[in-house]
Every structure is written in structure tokens, then in C-alpha cells.
Structure 1
Amino acid sequence: MLPPKIFFEKVKEIMWPIERKELKLFIPMALMMLCILFNFGALRSIKDSLVVPSMGAEIISFLKLWLVLPSCVIFTVLYVKLSNKLNFEYIFYIIVGSFLLFFLLFAYIIYPNQDIYHPNDEMINNLIASYPNFKWFIKLGSQWSYALMYIFAELWSAVVINLMFWQFANHIFDTSKAKRFYPVLGMIGNIGLIIAGSVLVFFSSGQDVIDSELLLDSFNASAGNAIMLQPIMSIIVTAGIIAMLLFRIINRFILTDSINVLDAKKLQLK
């Protein structure tokens, strides 16, 4: 049987394999992932609550095939072009900033004025009756802002998490650090999903089902049990800004420390 001291050291190596000198880099990366996954959790619920009640659950597969997939391809081409002109740091700011700007526009301009921007039901029904083969395209067009929100929410996962964050992590962590850091990063990041769920429950005021009819703007929300879209989006944008600030701190102050720099070229990610 192992002595208690050695036993607890072994447990610590498994549960927290981060050395003290590495905390300066690890903690900002963990907080950055927490913010990004918080947004992922919140956006995942919001996008479904908008699309499913207004267009039906059967629209999801159609939406992913005809809009989300082409959007991913378009973004890949755009990302390659940006990579040839800018370094990774500026690309990160441009991409994440564009997402956050859209979320603000949706919450404060598009969603409160959707009756102005969306075509009326009579026109949509007439179009569907005249062109039944294009029924799903017409439905998407009738709720184009919801479809656009769905696309951006899906791209947040594919782009910001899978591409931007993990590409950055792979550049600053060598193989030995990655084996120790990534499981703990994942555990801390998942706390963001828990927080996102708690935030949605708080703003839903006890509602068991997230319904787009309850996504009222904060100026006109008269129902006591209503999810407030604008405050939630404001929190999402704030979390995104915090992630950008952490990214800047890591690049400008932490990676310049010789302890954390693996290769000088990695400071100019291409």
C-alpha cells in the first residue's frame, strides 16, 4: 500500500497535472475556453428555440444541408484568403468580432423588428401553394433572420471552438503539455455549458420549455415568465469580449515569457 503522501501526489497528477509555473498560461486558456463554450451552450438553445416553433423540426436537416454546409465552405475559403494576408491574432479578432456584432444586431435590431423584415403569412402561403416543390426554401425565406441566426450559432461551434481555439492551443502547447492540459481544459470548459444552462433557466423564470414566443425584447417584455433575448445576447457578447481580451493577454504578455515560448515563430501564427 502506498504511503498517504505518495498516494495524494499520484491523485494530484491525475486530477490536476498542471505545474505551478504553467498556471500563468493555463488559467487564461481555461477561462477563454469556458467563455467560448458558455456561448456555445447558450446559442445552441436559442437557435433551436427560434427555428423549431416557427418552421417545424423537419426544417433542421434541410437547413443544415442547404445553408449551414455551404456557409462552412464559404467560410473556409474566406479563412484561407485571410490567412494569406494576416497573422492568426488579427484573424481571431476579425472572426470573433464579426460573430459578436451579428449577435448584437440580431438581438437589438432584427428580432424586435421582425414583423417589418419578414414577409407576411399570406404571401408565404400563396408562394407555397404556387410552388410546392420549393416549400422549404420559401419557409426559410419567410423566417430568414432565424435561419441566419441558426447558421451563426452552428458556425460558432465549427469555427470559434474547433478551428480558432484548438488551432491556437495546438500552436502554443507541445505534445507533452497537450496530453496534460487538454483533459483539464475540457473539464473546465464544460463548466461553461453548465453556466449557460443556469443563465437560460434564470431568464426563463421557471419555464420548462424554451419557446421562441417567449423570446421578448427587454423593452416590451410584459410576461413574467419570459426569456429575455436581449440580456442573454448581451451576456453572450460580454463572454465573447472576455475571450478576446484573454486571447490578447496571452499573445501580448504571456507568450513573450521565455518559459512559455516553444518557438519564436509561433508568436506569428500563419
Structure 2
Amino acid sequence: MNSYIRVSLAVLLVALAPVHSLFHPGVNTITPDAPKLRSLGAQQGILRSVAGSQNLKSQDSLRLKGGVTSILKSLKDALFPVETWEMPKFFSMSAMMFMIIYIYTTVRDTKDTLVVSTCGAESITFLKVYGVLPAATMFMLYYSRISNIFSKKALFYVTALPFMAFYAVFAYFIYPNREILHPPIPQDLDERWKYAVSLLSNWSYSLFYVVSELWGSVGVSVLFWQLANDIIPVWQANRFYPLFGQLANIAPICAGQTVAYFAHLSDKGDDAFGVALQQTTVLILAAGACFMLLYHYICVLGERD
């Protein structure tokens, strides 16, 4: 009887075990895999924490990259406030100004060498007053006359081409034949007329000096800035114009280096200055052709805008 009761109780406990597990899930009665389940849950929790930390790191990295990008953009806007779509116009205008100032720097060094070595440094003041000033007045009258005849595009070429033609003729015809073209200077001259007669006798050097002085005013003031004011609106000019001046400062450096290079290259010949003059004139004509082509390209850009 007692054994029968014990067997019955055992069967009853086995039957009630699932019900007990429902009300007491924390007690491991008949589930031998519970430790494995708890281990699996712990692993999943670790994976979730690792994934969360990686997400935080990626978000921090993105914020850092965004901060660096914004700083670089602010620095670029401060130093070079030109948009990407504006760069063709900006760099074309900058290259055009570079060519004009390159030509002026080259011919300025040449004209000073010619006049000072033959007529003396004192003659420059006389030449500026009685040569450059009347020539500038005559050019103003000439320009106002042809501006009523030609279109803006043709006016640019009509103004620039005579300068380029003169430099070519001077380097390849006038200077090689200077001894034939220049009359001799009388020896018994009064001191008051010494510099005037010397400038007249070396008339080609005086003419080269005057034309080169005019190019400094005509090339920059008339050819470049007139075009810039025509095609660059005010809202772009506030950003473009200061940069034009900064980039143009590179031109005198390049011009000085090329003049020094050709002077050193041909200093052993019989007519070293003439050879150097012809070599630098090739670069002057090349720069002239470049800024005229740039003018055409800039006009095309202006028509598109």
C-alpha cells in the first residue's frame, strides 16, 4: 500500500511539472538545455552591444568628416571664392591679364635698357613729357574715332594688333638696321639740346619707349578692364577683381626670368642684345596671340551666359 502511494505521488509530480514550469519559469525542472539558452542570450546581448558601439563610432566619424569638410569649404570660400561653374570665365580672364602684364613687363625692361644705354637716364624725363604725353593724347583721339566705326570685338583686335606688329618690326627689321636708320649725332651740341637731339637721333629707341609706355595703359586699362566690366556683373566682380590682381603679380616674375634667361643665353655673341631681343619678341608675339584667342573664348562664354 505504501509503495503504491509513493508510485502514485511520483506520477502526479511528473504530470504537474509542466504546469509548475509555467508559473515558475526560473526553476529548472525538466529543461536540461536552460544553461545553453542563457548562454545564447548572453552572446546575443554582447553582439547587440558591439553593434551599438560600432554605430556610435561610425556616427562620430561621420560628424568628424563633416566638420573637416565644412572647415575646408569655409577656408576655400575665404581664399578663393569662385564657384565651379564660374571657373572657365575666371581663369580665362586671369590668363588674359597675365599675358598683357607679361608683355608690358618684358617691353618695359627692354625700353629702359635701350634709352638709358644710348641717351642717358636724364633723357627719360624729357621723353615722358614730350613723347609719351602727346602720344597718349593722340591715341585717345584715335581710339575715340575708331570706336565709332568698329564693333566691340573688332575694336579689340584693331587696338591690340598694331602694338604686336610694331614689336615684330622693331625686333626683326629696325634694330638690325639701326646704324643705317639712325643719323649721326653732332658733336658740338649745346648742353640744353643734348638729350633732345640724342632722342631724335635714336628715334627708333624713343619710339619703342613711347609705344611700350602706351601698352601699359592701353593693354590693362582699355583692353582688359573694359572687357571685364562688360562681361562680369557686379555680384561676381566683388569676388573676381581682387583675385585678378593677386594672380597678375606672377606675370612680372615670369617676364623677368625669361628676359634674364635669354640675356644670359646670348651674351657671348657679337650682337647679344639683338639676339635676346628677337628671342623675347617671339614670346611677346606668342603671348599676344594667346590673349587674343582668350578674348574670343571669353566672348563665346559671355554669349552663353
**Which TM bucket (shorter chain)?**
0.7 to 0.9
**Structure with bigger RCO (C-alpha 8 Å, 6+ apart):** 1
**Structure 2: how far apart are the matches of 1:215 and 1:167?**
35
Provide the secondary structure at the position in 1 that maps to 2:260: helix
**Deviation larger for 78-87 or 197-206:** 197-206
**Deviation larger for 197-206 or 27-36:** 197-206
Report the Cα offset of residue 154 of structure 1.
0.5
- Structure 1 residue aligned with 2:127: 63
1:6 and 2:70 are equivalent in the alignment: yes
**Structure 1: how far apart are the matches of 2:295 and 2:187?**
48
**Structure 2: how far apart are the matches of 1:137 and 1:52?**
13
- Structure 2 residue aligned with 1:51: 115
Provide the secondary structure at the position in 2 that maps to 1:61: helix
Report the Cα offset of residue 214 of structure 1.
4.2
1:202 and 2:261 are equivalent in the alignment: yes
1:147 and 2:206 are equivalent in the alignment: yes
Alpha carbons 2:122, 2:195 under 8 Å: kept? no
Report the Cα offset of residue 6 of structure 1.
2.8
**Structure 2: how far apart are the matches of 1:100 and 1:216?**
18
1:234 and 2:234 are equivalent in the alignment: no
Report the Cα offset of residue 125 of structure 1.
2.1
Give 2:146's match in structure 1, choosing from 65, 82, 87: 82
**Structure 1: how far apart are the matches of 2:253 and 2:230?**
28
**Structure 2: how far apart are the matches of 1:14 and 1:168?**
26
Report the Cα offset of residue 186 of structure 1.
1.6
**Structure 1: how far apart are the matches of 2:152 and 2:193?**
41
Larger C-alpha radius of gyration, 1 or 2? 2
1:37 and 2:101 are equivalent in the alignment: yes
Residue 195 of structure 1 aligns with an amino acid whose one-letter code is: C
**Structure 2: how far apart are the matches of 1:216 and 1:85?**
38
Give 1:125's match in structure 2, choosing from 166, 187, 190: 187
Give 2:87's match in structure 1, choosing from 20, 23, 47: 23
1:158 and 2:253 are equivalent in the alignment: no
Gaps of 5+ in 2: 1-65
Residue 77 of structure 1 aligns with an amino acid whose one-letter code is: L
- Structure 1 residue aligned with 2:13: none
- Structure 2 residue aligned with 1:254: 301
Gaps of 5+ in 1: 218-227, 261-270
Report the Cα offset of residue 162 of structure 1.
1.3
**Structure 1: how far apart are the matches of 2:264 and 2:196?**
35
Report the Cα offset of residue 206 of structure 1.
7.7
**Structure 2: how far apart are the matches of 1:44 and 1:6?**
45
**Structure 1: how far apart are the matches of 2:252 and 2:87?**
23
CA displacement 1:20-43 (0-9 Å, x = unmatched):
111121121111111111111111
